Structure 1
Amino acid sequence: MGTNEVTRIVTDEEKREAKNFNIFDLPDVPTGLPPHLELQRTRVVCKKDSNIHPTAITFSGAYSSMGVDNSVRLENFSEDFKVDVISLTETDMVFDMIGVHAGIANAFRRILLAELPSMAIEKVYVANNTSVIQDEVLAHRLGLIPIAADPRLFEYLSENDQPNEKNTIVFKLHVKCLKGDPRRKVLTSELKWLPNGSELIKESGGSTTTPKTYTSFNHSQDSFPEFAENPIRPTLKDILIAKLGPGQEIELEAHAVKGIGKTHAKWSPVATAWYRMLPEVVLLKEFEGKHAEELVKVCPKKVFDIEDMGQGEVKAFPSFLQMSLLAFE
């Protein structure tokens, strides 16, 4: 007797299903992280003795066995990341970064400190200094004075470049304390911007050469529309530079150029950049009616707010805005 073999033909649809098969698509296979692992991945929990889970798990395959991709992808980061500006003034900015762990927040902090360009005094040409402050110390103090100038309007000055109106800002300081006068303070308000460039003459070996200054400006900087209504100046007018006694004098030129904080701290555009974790307050049970109103009143930090549930009923809930403000107290 012969053996009848049955051959099954696999359809194209079955081939596509087999190619796209994923075990986590099966109904009996759990997906996602258990609550305790999700808490560990997304929260820093404050305990009485110490905080737990302060370090983020950055390995992309840490939860691959559970079907969770822990890698940082640009598409997901763009969707989850959010910035809320809490307050903004000329000197301070407070903002919330939502959707990032502490490592990314710290990276932003380091970028603010070291990677953003600004203008700062790099070279100081001293013509006369009879004060008690040495030339090197005086130059260092001048370098740390913040300059109110948009660095995007200037170019970087390399070793082979000639200082000009596009890469250099020149300030002049000439102050003296006459004999018989009391000691006087030298403040940043006495730094005068020279939009036409340097006025100091370079020393030359021959007397027939044409006098040259330390810069080569082709145009005056105050002719640019960016500086017409907003002249370049020190950010603050009351920073102490030096103190002069009777008969003492300081005459110098200070040249500011573009740089970043990674090169020197004087180019760091922020005095202090820091971050704190955003607190999250969770109610273990619901507070309604009079209990909700009492909870809002007794909380010293005003973290809770009242939500109108309709028909005269109210419920207490943690206010995200108040928790955000609590982080900066």
Structure 2
Amino acid sequence: MPPVDNRIFMDHERVLNTHDANSDMASSSEPWSVEKYCERIRVEIVNETSDGMELEFDLIGVEAPIANALRRVLLAEVPTMAIEKIYMYQNTSLIQDEVLSHRLGLLPIRVDPRKFAFPLTKTIGINESGVDCDSEPPGDPKYNVIFELKVKCTKNPTAPKDATEPKDVFINSSVYSSEFTWCPIGDQETELLPHPAMVHDDILVAKLRPGQEIEARCHCVKGLGRDHAKFSPVCTATYRLLPIIKIKEEIKGEAAHLFQKSFSDGVIAINVNSNGEEVAVVQDARRDLCSRNVLIHEELASKVELSRQRDHFMFSVESSGALRSSDLVVEACKVLEEKTRDLRRLVSSVIR
């Protein structure tokens, strides 16, 4: 059987060779095996920030459905902790209770969700009048993390007479996420290290003026992004195929500069050959965004071949702050593994 070209070719207005022969078992003359399939899978770390919140890696040797499954699990099925119930004792700000509660619920929290269990019952019961319970429950250290927000705006007695900025004239004119105080439950003081906190201290929650105040206690629970976006563990989780740029014919002089401008910055470089002529060369194809602008120029279109590697996925993952991006990828793989086990059990129960 002749080797299959594993590239997707990009024409001016078409994309060719999109059929995924690797995932078509009927097209292979050899029996498919899990062991051989896993042998060709590789993961290469490209870049990771010092704080671990951003990660770039290449997933090589898999098909698009598997890469997309990893991306979707990262977005929606890796659990995190988020504010679920808010007990509003005082809110005299201009923001309505329900709008303020929604804003608080979206604040990212730095706490390891693996140390908690999913809530098995409703966080709050409803009384016979259809109203939430009259008093705040104490919380359970296995299920909850509790934060308290208590801030009041007053006039600044030491403010200069000519001051006009609210931050100078008033005290606590702006309420930031740094105002939240963690309230340990049970043995959480020693069990949760480092202590839970807001991921960012500079998120603006509300603005107050003298006499206005906010007092609330926020109960966090473990949840999934598929239930609510506030539980999504990533800011972004994306992938794209590895670009391949093949120069079929030497491009010199002004054409080389035009060729360079047709791609994203850093993709094409201009070198000087042995004859002293400027020649275009591929410097870093990974930077190419596949705009195909070069194909607009008739004099250049025939000299270049644009394609993408079908089984080479360049992932970019940015954590929202609960866990490092690398930990999130590992947790996503565990979720995928459990899904495959469940599917295998279901199939086995049917075919017996």
> TM-score, length-normalised on structure 2?
0.61
Displacement of 1:177 after TM fit? 0.9
Check whether the contact 1:82–1:97 (CA below 8 A) recurs between aligned residues: yes
Q: Which residue of 2 aligns with 1:185?
A: 174
Pick from 189, 192, 213: which aligns with 1:222? Answer: 189
Unaligned runs of 5+ in 1: 1-30, 198-216, 306-315
1:263 alignment partner, SS class: coil
Amino acid at match of 2:228: H
Q: Are the structure 2 counterparts of residues 117 and 136 from structure 1 closer, same or farther at C-alpha, using a change threshold of 3 Å?
A: same
1:271 paired residue number: 235
Paired amino acid for 1:172? E
What does the per-residue CA deviation read over 1:97-134, in whole Å, with 9 as the maximum and x for residues that have no partner? Answer: 11123332221110100111111111111101111111
The answer to whether the aligner puts 1:74 opposite 2:41 as a matched pair is no
- Paired residue for 2:88? 126
Aligned 8 A contact 1:130 1:250 in 2: yes
Q: Is 1:157–1:163's contact at 8 Å kept on the other side of the alignment?
A: no
Aligned to 1:109: 71
What is the CA distance between 1:57 and its match in structure 2?
5.0
Count of residues in Structure 1 that have an aligned counterpart in Structure 2:
249
Letter of the structure 2 residue corresponding to residue 82 of structure 1: R
2:213 to 240, 249, 253: 249
Using the alignment, how far apart are the partners of 1:328 and 1:32 within structure 2?
Answer: 29
Amino acid at match of 1:249: E
Matching residue of 1:202: none
Alignment of 1:1-329 (within 5 A): 31-33=1-3, 38-39=4-5, 42-54=6-18, 56=20, 60-64=24-28, 67=29, 73-89=33-49, 90=51, 91-159=53-121, 163-178=139-154, 182=170, 184-195=173-184, 197=185, 217=186, 219=187, 221-224=188-191, 226-227=192-193, 230-284=194-248, 322-326=284-288
Letter of the 2:243 counterpart: P
Per-residue deviation at 1:317? Answer: 8.8
CA distance in 1, matches of 2:146, 2:39: 45
Greater relative contact order (CA < 8 Å, ≥ 6 in sequence):
2
**Residues 23-77 of structure 1 deviation map (CA, whole Å, 9 limit, x = unaligned):** xxxxxxxx234xxxx22xx22211112322345357634425xx266x6x53233
Contact 2:148–2:217 (Cα < 8 Å) also in 1 = yes
Larger mean CA deviation between 261-270 and 98-107 belongs to 98-107
Contact 1:277 1:327 (C-alpha < 8 Å) held by counterparts: no
Whether contact under 8 Å (1:169, 1:257) holds in the other structure is: yes
Distance 2:290 2:153 in 1: 46
Q: Which has the higher strand share?
A: 2
Aligned partners of 2:93 and 2:235: how far apart in 1?
29
Cα 1:176–1:86 change in 2 (3 A) is same
Rounded Cα–Cα distance in structure 1 between residues aligned with 2:238 and 2:228? 19
